[in-house]
Amino acid sequence: MSGVGIIVGVETTCDETACAVVADGRKVLASAVASQVDLHARFGGVVPEIASRAHLEAVNAMIGRALDESGTGPSDVAAVAVAHQPGLIGSLLVGLMAAKALAWVWRVPLIGVNHIHAHAYAPALDDEPIDYPAAALIASGGHTSLYLCRSPTDLELLGATTDDAAGEAFDKVAAVLNLGYPGGPAIDRAATRGDPAAVPFPRALLKGQSLDFSFSGLKTAVLYHVRGTPGAVREGVARGVETLSERQVADVAASFQAALVDTLRIKLRRAARATGAATLIVGGGVAANTALRAAVEKLGRKIGAAVRMPAMKYCVDNAAMTAGLAWHHLRAGRTDDLKLAATATVRR
Binding residues for ligand KG4, rule: CB under 6 A, are 14, 140-142, 167-168, 170-171, 182-185, 188, 284-286, 288-289, 316-317
- Does 72 bind Zn ion (CB under 5 A)? Our answer is no
Shortest distance (Å) from residue 307 CB to Zn ion: 20
Q: Judged by CB, which is closer to Zn ion: 228, or 310?
A: 310
- Does 317 bind Zn ion (CB under 5 A)? Our answer is yes
DSSP secondary structure letter of residue 134: E
CA 27 vs CA 113, 129, 282, 303, 320: distances in Å: 18, 11, 20, 30, 9
CA 145 vs CA 89, 157, 215, 244, 291: distances in Å: 20, 7, 13, 34, 19
Q: Judged by CB, which is closer to Zn ion: 263, or 322?
A: 322
Which is nearest to 273 in space by CA: 113, 106, 158, 110? 158
Q: Judged by CB, which is closer to ligand KG4: 23, or 62?
A: 62
Shortest distance (Å) from residue 238 CB to ligand KG4: 27
Q: Judged by CB, which is closer to ligand KG4: 41, or 61?
A: 41
Site map 120..159 versus Zn ion, x via CB under 5 A: --------------------x-------------------
Shortest distance (Å) from residue 265 CB to ligand KG4: 14
* Contacted by 167, from ligand KG4, Zn ion, none: CB < 5 to 8 Å by type: ligand KG4
Q: Judged by CB, which is closer to Zn ion: 171, or 317?
A: 317
Alpha helices, H only, 107-242: 115-121, 166-176, 183-191, 216-227, 230-234
* Contacted by 217, from Zn ion, ligand KG4, none: CB < 5 to 8 Å by type: none
CB burial readout 211-249, b (16+ within 10 A) else e: bbbbbeebbebbbebbbbeeeeeeeeeeeeeeebeeebb
CA 347 vs CA 145, 153, 188, 230, 249: distances in Å: 9, 16, 29, 35, 36
Check if the beta carbon of residue 18 is closer than 8 Å to that of residue 98: no
* Contacted by 170, from Zn ion, ligand KG4, none: CB < 5 to 8 Å by type: ligand KG4
Measured in whole angstroms, the distance separating CA 32 from the mean position of its chain's CA atoms is 17
Cis peptide leading into 109, omega within 30 of 0? Answer: no
* Contacted by 256, from ligand KG4, Zn ion, none: CB < 5 to 8 Å by type: none
Shortest distance (Å) from residue 317 CB to ligand KG4: 5
Size of residue set near Zn ion by CB under 5 A: 2
Q: Judged by CB, which is closer to ligand KG4: 9, or 142?
A: 142
Shortest distance (Å) from residue 137 CB to Zn ion: 13
Coil/strand/helix, residue 193: coil
Q: Judged by CB, which is closer to Zn ion: 115, or 270?
A: 115
Shortest distance (Å) from residue 139 CB to ligand KG4: 8
Coil/strand/helix, residue 324: helix
Binding residues for Zn ion, rule: CB under 5 A, are 140, 317
